[in-house]
Structure 1
C-alpha cells in the first residue's frame, strides 16, 4: 500500500502535465539553421534585381538609355520595399476573412504584430517578410524590359505601384496566401504564375499599348555593352538559387534538390538555345547562350521543388527550344517590340514550366508525387487553370492601368526625346563621358 501511493501520485502528476507538454510541443520554435538559410536566400534574391537584372537590362539597351534602365530597377526596388511593408505584405499573406479566396486582410499593415520574436513557421516572420519582398521587387522590375527606351519615368513609377497592388498582390495571395488557386491544389514552387507569367503578360500588354520604338524593326538596335549584360546574367544565375531553393523555407533535402534541378534547368536551357541559334544562323552568340540560361531558370522555377533531375533536364531543353522560337517569331514575324524579350522568355517559359510541373511531379518520373486522389491529368488541368487565371487577370488589369496612366500623365516620351535618349532627357545625366 505504501509503495502504491508514490506511483499513483507520479501518474497523477504526469496526467496533469500532459496538456502542458502537448502545448509546448505544438508551439513553434525558432530553427536557427533554417533562419540562416532564409537570410542568405533573401540576400540572393535581392541581388538578382540590383545589381543582376539592372546590369543585364542596362547592357542590352543602347548607350543613350543605360542609366534610365538602371534608374528604373533601383527606383522600383525602393518603392516596392516601402509599399510591401505598409500594406502589400498583409494583403498577400494574411487571412482576408470572407474574401480570403481572392485577397488577404489588413491585420499586418504597417507590420502590426510583427516583432523580433514573431515566427512564421520556424523562422522569424521578419525574415519571411523580407524574402517575399524580394519577389515582389523583381516581378515589376522584369516588366521594365518590355518598354525600355520609350516610357516616361513618372508613368513607369505609377504603373509599377498600382500593378504591384492590383495585379501582383492578388495573384500572390491566390497561389501562396491560401487563396483559391492554392486550395485548388496548384503547384507553383517559386513563381511560375506569380512572377514569370504575371510579368510576361504585363510586358506583352505594355509593348502593344506603347507601340514600337522609333525605327523598329528596320533600324538595328544591338546591345551597347554585352559584357555588362553577361555580368548581370551571371548574377541572375547565382541569385536564382536563393529564389528557388529558398522557397523551401528550410535548409533541408527539398532545398538541396531544388538547387540541383535549378542548375540543371539553367544549363540545359543555355545549351539548347545556343544549338538552336547555331543551327539556324550559323554561329552561336553570347547573347543567345545567356538568354537561354534565363529562359531555363524561369521555366524550371514553378517545378523546382516538385521534380527530379530528369524532369529538370526535359524542362530546361523545352525552355531553350520553345523560348528561342517564340522570341524570333515575335521579333521577326509579328514585329512586336517587346524590347528585351520579356514575354517570350519569362511569359512563355513560365507557361511551359507551370504546365510540365503537372507532368514531372509524378513520382514515376522522379518527382515528389501528387496529392492523394490526384492523377497527372487532373494536376495538369489545375496547372492550366492557374495559367489562364494569371493571363486574364494580369493582361486585363495591366491594360486598364496603362490606359488610365496614359490619360493622367502620358505613357511615352516625345519622338525627339526618344531619339536623344532617356538618360539626358529624363535624368540629365549620361552613362558615358567619352
Structure 2
C-alpha cells in the first residue's frame, strides 16, 4: 500500500475511481473490496496470457483506486475533489449550452434578416446602420459569457474557502482533544496529598459499619432516614444502604426471625470507630424504652467483619499526659480490649468519649505512640492530622480478607444447619 502522502496526491487525480471499479460513490467499504478483487482479476499479469503495457497500467491504476477508496480520510479528500470537478463540468456545460443558445438565436436572426433583404428590391445598397443589431447580439453574448465565467470563479472560491474552514476547524478540534487528553494524563499522574483529610482516604470498606435489627415492633419502621439520624452524632455520613431482609436464627433458642441489615459509610474512619464503640452502650441504655429507636438495634459491627488495625490506645489519662508533655504518672496497661483514642483539648466523660460529637482523627498517632506499637508511624501534617500508613492499610486489608473468609465459612455452616433442620422438620410433618 502506498504511503499516506502518495495517497493524498492520488486523491487529486482527475480519473473517476468509482467508474473504474464499476461502483457508485455511496458503496460501502466491503463492496469496494469485492469490486476491486473482481475487477483486478481481469487485468492481473498472472491471469492474462500475454499482458500488454496497457493492462499493466490498468492493474496499477486499480490498486491506486482501491488504496484511495479503502482509506476513509483519503476517500473523503477524493470525494471532495471529485465533487468540485463535477461541479465545474456542470458549469462548463451550462455555459456551453448558453453559448449555443445565443449562437442559434443570432444565426436565426441573421437568416431572417437575409430573407427580408432578398425579398426587397435588388440593387439597393445596405446602409451602414444595418449591422447594429448583429453588433449588439455579439456584445450581449460576450457579456453573458463573462458573467457565467465570473459566477463560476465565485463559486469555486466559495467552495475552496468552505473546505479550508472545515479543515481548520477539524485541526482545531483535534488539537483540543489532544490537549484534553494530555491534561487528563497530567491529572492522573499527579500525587494527591490527603494528609489533611482526617481518615477520609481510608477505603470505604474500612469506614463502613453494619447495623442489624429484627423486623419486629419498632424495627418495622426503621429506614435509611432514621438510621442516618441515629448515627449522625458519631460523625459525618456519606451514604446509608438498607439491604434485603433475611431469615436468620438468633438467640440461644436459635429461633428464625426476619433480620434487616443496613450499611452506613462514614466520611471518616473516626466516625465509624465511634459508632462501633459507643453503639453497644446506647443499646444497653435504651433497653426497655419502647419509644427509642436504639432499643430495636440488635448489633453494630464493622462492615469488613474485622476492626481496622489503626493501633490500640492505652489509658486515656496516660495518652493525654503523653501528648501534652505532662507524663507525671506511669502509663497504665490497657484494660479493655477495645481501642481507645485521646483527643487533646476535649473534656472526656467516663467512657473516654465526648457525648454528641465525633472525635477528630488527630489522636491516632498519639494513641499508637502510647500503646508502643511496633508499626511504622503514620504520616503527620503540620496541623497534627495523621492518616494510616501504607503498611497499616495493607495489614488491615489482609485481616479483612481473613475475617471475610471465616465469615463465609460460618455462613455456609449455618446454611447447612438450616437446611438440615428444614429437612428434619419436613420429614416429621410427612410422617
* TM-score, normalization by structure 2: 0.21
> Greater share of strand residues, 1 or 2?
2
Larger Rg: 2
> Greater share of helix residues, 1 or 2?
1
Q: Which structure carries more relative contact order (alpha carbon 8 Å, separation 6+)?
A: 1
